[in-house]
Amino acid sequence: MIKGVIFDLDGVILSTDEYHFLAWKQLADKLDIPFDREKNNLLRGVSRMESLEIVLDGREFSAEQKAAFAAEKNETYRALLSKMTPSDVSNDVKNTISTLRSRGIKVAIGSSSKNTKFILERVGMINDFDAIADGNDIKRSKPDPEVFLVAARRIGLAPSECIVVEDALAGIDAAVAGGFFPVAIGDAVKHPGAMARIEEVSDIIALFEKA
Ligand code: B16
Ligand code: MG
C-alpha cells in the first residue's frame, strides 16, 4: 500500500529546471560550446559536476578550471533563484501537497540539488514536507537511488510504500533501482520504466483513488 510520496524538486515541484538551463547555457555560450534544450534534458537529476562533464562534452580542462566553471554556473543559477517568491509555486502543487497530507500520506523531497533548502526557503515551502533529502545528504546522485532511500528512511517508510515523482530519466532509473513506484512527468514520460505518467502533479491524487 502506498503511504508516501517523494517529490523531485527541479522540474516537478518548481520550474527551477528552466533556471538550470539558462545558467548552463550562459556558461556554454561563453566557452563556445553548443548547448540546447535536448542536451539540457541529460542534466536533469544529475549532480552539478557530472552535469558540467556533459556540458563540456569531452573538452579538456584542468580540475581547477572545472571547479571554477561549476562555481560560476551555480552563481548564475543562485542569482536567478534569489528572485523567486511564494508566487512561483503553482496552485496545483500547493493543493496536491495539502490534500495528500490531509489524507495522512507522508510527503518528502528527494532532490540531487545542494540548493534545495535555499529554494524551499525562498518560495515559503520549507515547512511543507515531512522530510527533505537533497544533494548535501548523499554521495551518489541519480540514477543511484541514494537520495530517495534517505527520504524514505526519514519518513519511516519502505521504498515499496512510496511513489517517486520525477521529470528526469535518471530519476526514474533511481526510483526503479531503489524499489519505489516511479511516476513520470515532463521529459521522463518517455522512460519505459515509469509505472504511471502524469501531466500535472495533482494527477497523482487519482492514482491513490484507483489503488
Ligand atoms: P545543484 P533535482 C537536480 O535537481 C537537477 O535536476 C540537476 O539539473 C542539477 O544538476 C542537480 O539537481 C544539482 O543541482 O547544482 O543545485 O546542486 O531534479 O534532483 O531536484
Ligand atoms: Mg528534476
pLDDT, position 101: 97
Binding site membership of 137 for ligand 1 (Cβ less than 6 Å): no
Distance 210 CA to ligand 1 centre (A): 32
Tell me the percentage of the chain whose pLDDT exceeds 70: 99
Both 60 and 102 in one domain: the answer is no
The C-alpha cell at 52 is 558540467
What's the CATH code of the domain at 94?
3.40.50.1000
pLDDT for the residue numbered 95 = 98
Q: Which are the catalytic amino acids?
A: 8, 10
What's the pTM?
Answer: 0.96
Instruction: Give residue 59 CA to ligand 2 midpoint distance, Å.
Output: 26
Q: How confident is the model at residue 209 (pLDDT cuts 50, 70, 90)?
A: confident
Q: For residue 28, what is the enclosing H or E element?
A: helix 16-30
CATH value at residue 48? 1.10.150.240
> What is the per-residue pLDDT across 157-189, written as a single tens digit (0 to 9) for each?
999 999 999 999 999 999 999 999 999 999 999
Exposed/middle/buried for residue 124 (C-beta within 10 Å: 0-12, 13-18, 19+): middle
Q: Which of 53, 81, 109 is the last residue of a domain?
A: 81
Q: Which residues constitute the domain of residue 32?
A: 17-81
Residues 23 and 64 in one domain: yes
Distance CA 77, CA 13 (A): 17
Number of independent structural domains in the chain:
2
